[in-house]
Structure 1
Amino acid sequence: MRDTVDTDTDTDTGASARTPARTSVRAAPPAWLVVTLACAGQFLVVLDVSVVNVALPSMRADLGLSAAGLQWVVNAYAIAFAGVMLLGGRAGDLYGRKRMFLVGLGLFTLASLGGGLAGAGWQLLLARAAQGLGAAVLAPSTLTLLTSAVPEGAARARAVATWTAVGAGGGAAGGLVGGVLVDLLSWRWVLLINVPVGTAVLLGSLRWLTESRVGWGSPRDEVLGGGRRLDLPGALLVTAGLGTLAYGISQTEAEGWTDAATLAPLAAGLALLGAFLAVEARTAAPLMPPALLRLRSVASANAAMFLSGSAMFCMWFFMTLYAQNVLGYTPLQAGFALIPSSLAVVLGAKLAPRLMTALAPRGVAVLGTLVAAAGFAWQSTMTPHGAYATAVMGPGVLMMLGAGLAATPLAALATSGAAPQDAGLVSGLVNTSRTMGGSLGLAVMSTLAAARTDGRTGPQALTEGYALVFRTGTGVLLAGTALMLLWLPRRKPEKAEKAERVEKAEKGEEPERAEKAEKS
């Protein structure tokens, strides 16, 4: 077992900023333990994106939320999550991945307590936004801790697949967990359950995780202003831009696309995002370095993740509404109804690394997206009196099997071409792309569904609205497939292929090719 040096540095500026205040030598934990803790953090983050879906009708009845308010129970979390995640990733690179993991998990756990005790709608929305902030700091560190503990190559691909499966399983299990808690206890427990689980993961991480960050005294520290600069203006601009844009989209449901109440926030949101891009091009330590997006693997994989997320994020939201509002399922029944989908997404994520050896990452991502598109197309044929096997289980399994297959190669491509010092940033970008696409996609899809129902509330009208959402999702996924075929690299970056050959040599496979890889 290797040793690592854990160094805390003086936070004062000047020469003392790089003088170690305390140095301790500590044995690095086994890789499986790091992967376990990282995946536990990721599970909590993703679970809370979907766990509230089943509880939405109960929240609305208890707190008097409007239909738009229900959407913001989901989007307050998602927008804060997506908007601050790049900052969270960069903070992990600069201040330490373990430290940011603990800070994010602590804030997430406290916000969950506040949400579970909320007595009014605005308190719940505020707590959900705070949860999103905590998740934005926590989530990038989960992937970076994992990739730091596992060398690049086939072993890392398997670890990333486990991380993807746990994350996807968290999103999928949200329906079941939420249904059980709402039926047996109350909607408040979909948030309060995070408190004991988060506390347990926090204590385990304090005990076993070791610190990692970009090394002090490197040329990169000079660029980053002594290693301590964060792009706060960029973080504020991108978060405000996303939130304003999502609000403008949600306004179209009541005001239409041409009303000033819609056009003003849409224009303001686009202006804020434009200002974000301008700031990133000029600042010395940008939150989103333009050079990073010039890496084909990073840019193309994140664009594909954005499109995929805009469809997949909506699946759980509308499936649970369809099950409860149209088919008459209880929250618990709706949760159990989605178990096959939960298992399918985990299966897809675990199958992906094996298929990647034969089809390459691009081929597996395309295959998974096509399978998901088939599920969306099937789901769009729903009726008010659909049978479980054909209206929920069958299409749900296809959608989530495809999602699991596609997510692993896209995450692997997005992280394999970046430098180690950008690992936290790229990890944050992966989650940001997926969640940003999901939050904006949910706003658009909710507007489409509401426009289709045209004020009607019966099962037939609701079904027509939900069906339109899944038809639109089918088109989005097919567009994503075309983008992957045209833009994703055919092969992994050379660095990743070399690492895989070396790993095979260590196992006694392909020794001659591995020796050449090591020498080169």
Structure 2
Amino acid sequence: MTGFMVVLDSQIVILALPSIERGLDVSVEDGQWVLSAYMLAFGGLLLFGGRLADLRGRRQMFIVGTALFLVSSLLCGFAWSAAVLIGARVVQGVSAALMAPTSLAILMGMFPEGPERNKALAFWSGVGGIGATASLLIGGPITDTLGWAWIFFINVPVSVVMLVFAPILFPESRGRSGRRAYDPAGALTSTVGLMLLIGAIVLAPAKGWLSGPALGMLLGSAVLLGLFVLVESRAVAPLVPLQTFRSRLFVGGNLAMSLFAAITVGMSIAVTAYAQQVLGYTPLQFGLGMVAMTVMAVVGSYVGQAGLTKIGFRPVVATAAVAMGVGVFLLSQVTVHGTYFADLFPGLLMFGLGLGAGPVAAVAATLSAVDQEIAGVASGAANAGFQIGGALGAAVTSAIVVSNGGDSAEPARMTNGFGAGLTGDLVIAVGCLSVALVLLRPKQPAPGQDRDPGNGEVATQL
């Protein structure tokens, strides 16, 4: 449920933005910060949130994050100005940065390594993938019938249920080391560095990649992340042990997760705009049209978790990348006088299948390569990869769409821009396939070493 809500809240605002801008009388540019503020806080604090969970207790930090998520969701819904809403979204992002890695680390601790853990990870990731599609499914109907505030109010009952049952269902767990070393230098450099990186990606479509603000943020991010590596190489108790990045599965799984996020967010932006601006769909009609993709994402998550235990990470990630690539290719053929069943339905079916299966295998590959001692921060890294990928996908797709006439008032030019943006997503899907084939290939076990029967893979080094 946590994975579902966290991903849902990062996506559901997309459909409600026009209503928010009208309701609070804000410009389109200021309205975009309702989406970006959450993304910046969430993505920037994930590593530190995961580290807090490892050191202070995963159940404890999960409860703190959930309580903060409840309060911030209420504040978002009752916001009386854009400034209040953006501030509440920052707090909501902070709470999500505590909830997401802790819930995943708790899950890892509850199941032994092997098939059972893979199934649990697949379920967690699959539910998150469903959340990404459900945001498009329910966001429109909620906004049209109840008003934009209710996209935040729906978090409240779910948060209450999680607060009631978390102390009962979740055992307390933390890293085995009894020493609480927070690595403040590593936390500061990674947090600000990631925030600047995501901020630059978010800012670039509006200001330009070569603009002073975007270049400044990119340069600052590069310096801080470089300092982070230096700090971690010398820290007695580093935030993220650098040897973790020598694992091919950890690196490959994170890259695949980022690329899956980029394809998903890019596709969502282009298809949402095409359906509403060219085909004339209301948010409610478009949301109902996304049922097909949501159903296929459920099927894909089931197929993905079954495939993990039988054929391993690489075939599942590669197949999912192909399915999503075929999906965006079909969607890129949209026409100015298109219809739902001719232009959208086939592509949504294929895309949903890949979306359900791909992140399942990517997150399982990432976490299979780390020790339980750093499960929280490793989960944070996986979630940070998703946020960075999503921001990059939004920036790249938006830039392609606009440069090809997607911001025009003429339907034919708009359609051409949306098709070009979806073709760009196809290129990202090819990159994801390459990552799967190169980095997620299994390594034959050394003499005397047993292959993990749960996933058919051995954690390999770069």
| TM-score normalized by the length of structure 2 | 0.91
Partner of 1:485: 437
Pairing partner for 2:54 from 93, 102, 105: 93
Partner of 2:67: 106
Q: Distance in 1 between matches of 2:237 and 2:437?
A: 33
Contact 1:366 1:485 in 2 (8 A): yes
Pairing partner for 2:153 from 185, 192, 197: 192
Pairing partner for 1:209 from 170, 177, 197: 170
Cα distance, 1:254 vs. partner?
A: 4.5
In the alignment, does 2:395 pair up with 1:443? Answer: yes
- The structure number with the bigger radius of gyration is 1
Partner of 1:337: 289
Partner of 1:53: 14
Cα distance, 1:167 vs. partner?
A: 1.1
User: CA 1:63–1:273 in structure 2 vs 1: closer, same or farther (change >3 Å)?
Assistant: farther
3-state SS, counterpart of residue 284 of structure 2: helix
* Farther-moved stretch of structure 1 (355-364 vs 421-430): 355-364
Contact 2:43 2:195 in 1 (8 A): no
Q: Distance in 2 between matches of 1:54 and 1:382?
A: 20
3-state SS, counterpart of residue 370 of structure 2: coil
Q: Distance in 1 between matches of 2:341 and 2:102?
A: 39
Partner of 1:408: 360
In the alignment, does 2:440 pair up with 1:475? Answer: no
User: CA 1:69–1:192 in structure 2 vs 1: closer, same or farther (change >3 Å)?
Assistant: same
User: CA 1:384–1:357 in structure 2 vs 1: closer, same or farther (change >3 Å)?
Assistant: same
Q: Distance in 1 between matches of 2:226 and 2:101?
A: 24
Instruction: Please give the residue correspondences for 1:307-346 in structure 2 after superposition, counting only pairs within 5 Å.
Output: 307-346=259-298
Cα distance, 1:248 vs. partner?
A: 3.5
| TM-score normalized by the length of structure 1 | 0.81
Q: Distance in 2 between matches of 1:211 and 1:332?
A: 42
Contact 2:136 2:287 in 1 (8 A): yes
Cα distance, 1:59 vs. partner?
A: 1.2
Partner of 2:460: none
Cα distance, 1:350 vs. partner?
A: 0.6
Q: CA RMSD in A?
A: 2.3
Cα distance, 1:255 vs. partner?
A: 4.3
Q: Distance in 1 between matches of 2:321 and 2:220?
A: 33
Contact 1:324 1:334 in 2 (8 A): yes
Partner of 2:43: 82
Partner of 2:219: 267
Instruction: Please give the residue correspondences for 1:26-45 in structure 2 after superposition, counting only pairs within 5 Å.
Output: 40-45=1-6
Q: Could you tell me which amino acid in structure 2 is paired with residue 103 of structure 1?
A: V
Contact 2:232 2:238 in 1 (8 A): yes
In structure 1, the gaps of 5 or more residues are: 1-39, 502-520
3-state SS, counterpart of residue 186 of structure 1: coil
User: CA 1:355–1:107 in structure 2 vs 1: closer, same or farther (change >3 Å)?
Assistant: same
Cα distance, 1:250 vs. partner?
A: 4.6
Q: Distance in 2 between matches of 1:150 and 1:234?
A: 30
Partner of 1:302: 254
Q: Distance in 2 between matches of 1:46 and 1:352?
A: 19
User: CA 1:284–1:459 in structure 2 vs 1: closer, same or farther (change >3 Å)?
Assistant: farther
Partner of 1:236: 188
Cα distance, 1:131 vs. partner?
A: 1.1
Q: Could you tell me which amino acid in structure 2 is paired with residue 93 of structure 1?
A: D
Partner of 2:30: 69
Q: Distance in 2 between matches of 1:413 and 1:313?
A: 22
Aligned residues: 453
Cα distance, 1:137 vs. partner?
A: 0.5
In the alignment, does 2:84 pair up with 1:123? Answer: yes
Q: Distance in 2 between matches of 1:378 and 1:197?
A: 36
* Farther-moved stretch of structure 1 (78-87 vs 268-277): 268-277
Instruction: Please give the residue correspondences for 1:359-398 in structure 2 after superposition, counting only pairs within 5 Å.
Output: 359-398=311-350
Cα distance, 1:252 vs. partner?
A: 4.2
Contact 2:36 2:202 in 1 (8 A): no
Q: Relative contact order: is structure 1 or structure 2 higher (C-alpha 8 Å, sep ≥ 6)? A: 2
In structure 2, the gaps of 5 or more residues are: 456-462
